Structure 1
Amino acid sequence: MQPTLKQCSAFILAAFALSSAQANTVIVNANGYTLNTKGDLVQFNALAFDDKGRILAVGSAAEVTARVPGSRRVDMKGRTVLPGLIDAHGHVFGLGQMLTQLDLSQATSLDGALKSIGDYAHANRKQAWLRGRGWNQENWKLGRFPTAADLDPIVADRPVWFERVDGHAGWANSRALAAAGITDKTPDPAGGKIMRDANGKATGVLVDAAQELVTRIMPAQTEAEGRVVLDRSLQEMARVGITSAHDAGLGVAEDRLFRTYADQGKLTARIYGMIGGTDADFDALSKNGPLKTYGNDMYALRAVKLYSDGALGSRGAALIKPYSDESHSHGLLFFNAAQMNAKMKKAMARGYQVNVHAIGDAGNKQILDIYKKELAATKSAAQRHRIEHAQVVTPSDIARFQTLGIIPSMQPTHATSDKNMAESRVGAERIKGAYAWRSFLHQGSRIACGSDFPVESPNPFFGIHAAVTRQDASGQPVAGWYPNQAMSLKEAFRCFTLDAAYAGHAENNLGSLEPGKWADFIVIDQDLFKMPTYDIHKTGVLQTWVAGKPVYEKR
């Protein structure tokens, strides 16, 4: 009789309570897959690691057990084992906040969203501010953004602030606008836009940098609240099989918590940190230069996150030519070339990897132009600089990623989430250079894949599914959305493992299951390489292990 998963969990935990005399562990009867250093897909059925969590041997049961005699054994009962998956672009605290605040991502209409907000307000009467995230007016078929006038009848007694799904716009009620001092005469800040109606009245939606008018007056998160948020985020990452995440924009408070959690053994995913911007937090955090590793490779802080432009859904992405569905708008470049150059050069010269958010073709061009100028000046090519999203790029600029050695850090589920509006935004010609994974791969670029959670689900199998099928979870469109840009399954697997590790300077320690690397792996409920590709998004994680220790077990 097969043991239950609960019984297996008890066995695993008991095994690790054994005396330190039995320091090595062997995973046996595994249906294992990994990539090797050449990028070839190899199979194994046994994996051995020491008490520190470093892999000793991988291969057949006979070979591995002979290498490490007397080891304790964990029987995987034929289940599929993969290297831990790496999300190369997420927002760790943002995920935790979404999981502890109101999530509007499932609202399919304005009325549905307003009902959820009303219910949330009623259940949280003591909260001074009501906060949440996830709304998407494109899914509501409004033909417009929501307004403060929509919110005011629902919540009028306290300020309300809900971020759009992409984080590049916020929706406020009149109480929040008043608290921020926003009137119809408030000018648009640089890199931002206050949405207004035909009469010039502020409607309640703030785009990109304009959001700071509200967020800067909101109560700061306490350390206790930060711990709750981080705990929830780590739990969710372990649940979906993420053993390492690149955190795209953190400050002094987040850095302090990551170090504390690493010291206390509470980090259940490895965090590769990007400092948000090059201002005060960067100056404070960079005093001793890049932190290449901390706490047995559980934390690193050696990158900087900057923003070139906004997002496509809110028409904040900067385009060379006007939006196809809004002819008077080119979107928003956050900084002029000189300002952005100064920010990038400052970080590059101090030894940091520079990772710049660029979604529109004008944003991507601006950043590539600066890389071309400053790579030689700062002698920093070895820092593996990146462009985050690389979402709409002219064909000639796609080629420059390779010639300049810039890593495209891309999120496959953005394509399947954006397909309902992307072509209307950019038109039939520019869409050919959008979400163009095959074009990047064909020229030899290494794509670092992620999700941009909480903009998208952190579940990496959603990303692998989108990369391979170019379909959403309902299988639409049937032939895939611009399927000529799809990845093969091995390519998608690689971009969530080895190439994501490479983008974080961690390919010698993470990304595959090979001797000398960390024993970060997951156990899943299906054979990824034999199941129908259209079902990849249904893959479930049974166990997640980090450094040879179980950090999640499905109950």
Structure 2
Amino acid sequence: MPGLHDGHAHPIVAGPSLHNVCLADTKLTIPQIQAVITSALKASADQEPGGWLQIDNWHSSGVLPAGTVVTKADLDSLATKRPLYVHSSDSHNAWVNSHALALAGITKNTPDPDGGTIVRDASGEPTSLLKDAARRLVRDVIPHPTPAQAMAAASEAFAMLAAVGVTSVMDAAAEDGFVELYSALAAANKLKLRTGLAYLLSVEQAKDPRAALATLRAFKKNLAGSDLVSTGTAKVFMDGVMEYPAHTAAMLDPYLVNTGTDADPHWEPGTCRGRLDFDQDTITNLALVLDPAGWQLHAHVIGDRALRTALTAYEAVFRHGGRQRDNRHLLERLKEKAKGSGFEFSEGGS
């Protein structure tokens, strides 16, 4: 019978978030956001003073009034000593309070990680906004769920997918720690649909393509044991997102900045063109090693500069025997028409 096939999802990550405080991707003012968080703090007062509070689906580009820049002071003013982690609905931005920054050891002297940005004020102090890979600096110190909790959350996520007719799904950012959980889900008959895993490669891993291939093969070997779970795909983040306040999607032309006022705006090209995480040589060399070995690349691209870089890498593969192998590499998340190509790409991938 026909089924629905979801080519890009994050069921393992989504499971625990089903029970976090949710801002519903709604445009809100700072006081409105503070009111939601305050209500959640009161409802979980037994977690004072050290229990983390995680808030999901924050509309980071829709804080009202338009152009509002969030800071740690907005969260520090709340009546709590707990560390707070507010995660954006686009999964590329996080907003935290001073306690969370301290627990993560993020200071004025903390360097930006590869593929991420710690937003700073004029004096260099972290403002509490973390972009892309910089979110991990805080996420890594948040206590992980127990195996039983992770199992229950993942089971709930897969049951929800199955209930609406999804029969197969691509987990688009898998890590080593997923192996044990997926194996346990399959063994307990909790994995309700076929799942393909795209293993997430960092920029640093990709700089040594042969070692990256060995990592992928080891991941695949460890995953063996159920015909419901498979892998043959590597995931890379070429850039971030174009929405304010991130502006991390890699663009050919610079983002516009308002040199006027809110009442009388005047938009001019600025100096920021976003952040290209994988340079041309790195992504091309990676593609040329993975393709002959039978691995598919699953590239997150949003900006036109990231798109061009990924397509150039795929073209190199095409010219080195890729046409015969017909291993179809993916472009995910982009919203761009490739001029003169006859191809049009849209959200979800092509």
Which TM bucket (shorter chain)? 0.7 to 0.9
What is the CA distance between 1:255 and its match in structure 2? 2.7
Report how far residue 106 of structure 1 moved: 4.5
Change (3 A) 1:228 1:289: closer
| 2:296 is the alignment partner of 1:353 | yes
Paired position in structure 2 for 1:502: none
Structure 1 stretch 132-141 or stretch 163-172: which is displaced more? 132-141
Q: Do 2:55 and 2:85's aligned partners in 1 also have CA atoms closer than 8 Å?
A: yes
- Does the Cα contact within 8 Å between 2:60 and 2:93 map onto a contact in 1? no
- Alpha-carbon distance in 1 for matches of 2:292, 2:347: 25
Correspondent of 1:327 among 270, 273, 287: 270
Corresponding residue of 1:368: 311
Structure-2 residue corresponding to 1:340: 283
Q: Does 1:272 align with 2:192?
A: no
Q: Which residue pairs with 2:58 in the alignment?
A: 135
Residue among 233, 250, 254 paired with 1:318: 250
Residue 19 of structure 2 corresponds to which residue in structure 1? 100
- Supply the AA of the counterpart residue of 1:99: L
Q: CA deviation at 1:294?
A: 6.5
Aligned in 2, Cα 1:293/1:183: closer, same or farther, shift over 3 Å? closer
Tell me the percent identity: 28
Instruction: State whether structure 2 residue 37 is matched by structure 1 residue 117.
Output: yes
Whether the aligned pair in 2 keeps the contact of 1:163 and 1:171 (CA below 8 Å) is yes
Quick one: distance in 2 between partners of 1:281 and 1:262?
27
Whole-Å separation in 2 of the counterparts to 1:146 and 1:92: 29
Counterpart residue identity of residue 162, structure 2: A
Corresponding residue for residue 333 of structure 2: 389
Partner of 1:444: none
Partner Cα separation in structure 2 for residue 312 and residue 223 of structure 1: 36
Structure 1: where are the runs of 5+ without partners?
1-54, 56-82, 403-407, 412-446, 449-555
1:337: Cα distance to partner? 1.9
Deviations 1:148-175 (A, max 9, x none): 1111122641221122111111111001
**Paired letter, 2:279:** N
Find the residue that maps to 2:55 and give its secondary structure: strand
Match of 1:154 among 58, 78, 86: 78
Listed one character per residue, the Cα deviations across residues 379-399 of structure 1 (whole Å, up to 9, x for unaligned) are 474221111112235424x54
The match for 2:232 is: 302
Structure 2 CA distance, aligned partners of 1:410 and 1:245?
Answer: 16
Aligned residue runs from structure 1 range 141-540, under 5 A? 141-142=64-65, 143-154=67-78, 156-277=80-201, 279=205, 283-284=214-215, 286-287=217-218, 295-296=226-227, 298-313=228-243, 314-325=246-257, 327-377=270-320, 379=322, 381-396=325-340, 399=342, 410-411=347-348
- Structure 2 counterpart of 1:353, one-letter code: Q
CA distance in 2, matches of 1:215, 1:288: 23
Aligned residues of 1:137 and 1:145 also touching (Cα < 8 A): no
For 2:216 and 2:148, locate their aligned partners in 1 and report how far apart those are by CA, in whole Å.
Answer: 22
* Closer, same or farther: CA 178–303 of 1 in aligned 2, 3 Å: same
**Shift of residue 189, structure 1, vs aligned partner:** 3.1
CA distance in 1 between counterparts of 2:146 and 2:346 reads 32
> Is the alpha carbon distance of 1:242 and 1:133 closer, same or farther for their aligned partners in structure 2, counting shifts above 3 Å?
same
- 2:336 touches 2:346 (CA, 8 Å); kept in 1? no
Give the counterpart letter for 1:116 in structure 2.
Answer: V
- Tell me how far apart the structure 1 counterparts of residues 111 and 126 of structure 2 sit (CA, whole Å): 10
RMSD: 2.9
How far residue 368 of structure 1 moved from its aligned partner, in angstroms, is 0.6
Q: Describe the shift of the 1:221–1:352 C-alpha distance in structure 2 as closer, same or farther (beyond 3 A).
A: farther
Q: Deviations over 1:77-114 (max 9, x none)?
A: xxxxxx32121111111221221212222443122222
Q: Distance in 1 between matches of 2:163 and 2:10?
A: 16
Q: CA deviation at 1:268?
A: 1.4
TM-score (norm 2): 0.82
Q: Which residue of 2 aligns with 1:466?
A: none
Task: String of CA shifts for 1:322-381, please: whole Å, max 9, x gaps.
Answer: 113462211111122223334434433432111100010001111111111134436474
Looking at structure 1, the residues matched to 279 and 196 of structure 2 have their Cα atoms a distance apart, in angstroms, of 29
Partner residue in 2 for 1:479:
none
Partner SS state of residue 91, structure 2: coil
* 3-state SS, counterpart of residue 240 of structure 2: coil
Query: Which residue identity lines up with residue 254 of structure 2 in the other structure?
Result: P
Say if 1:145 and 1:205, in contact at 8 Å, map to a contact too.
no
Letter of the 1:237 counterpart: L
Distance 1:269 1:214, change over 3 A: same
* Distance in 1 between residues matched to 2:312 and 2:93, nearest whole Å: 27
Q: Please list every run of 5 or more consecutive structure 2 residues that lacks an aligned counterpart in the other structure.
A: 206-210, 258-268
Aligned counterparts, 1:13-28, within 5 A: none
The code of the aligned residue for 1:136 comes to H
Structure 1 residues 106 and 354 mapped into 2: Cα distance closer, same or farther (>3 Å)?
closer
How far did residue 270 of structure 1 move? 1.9
Q: Which amino acid aligns with 1:301?
A: T
Distance 1:327 1:268 in 2: 49
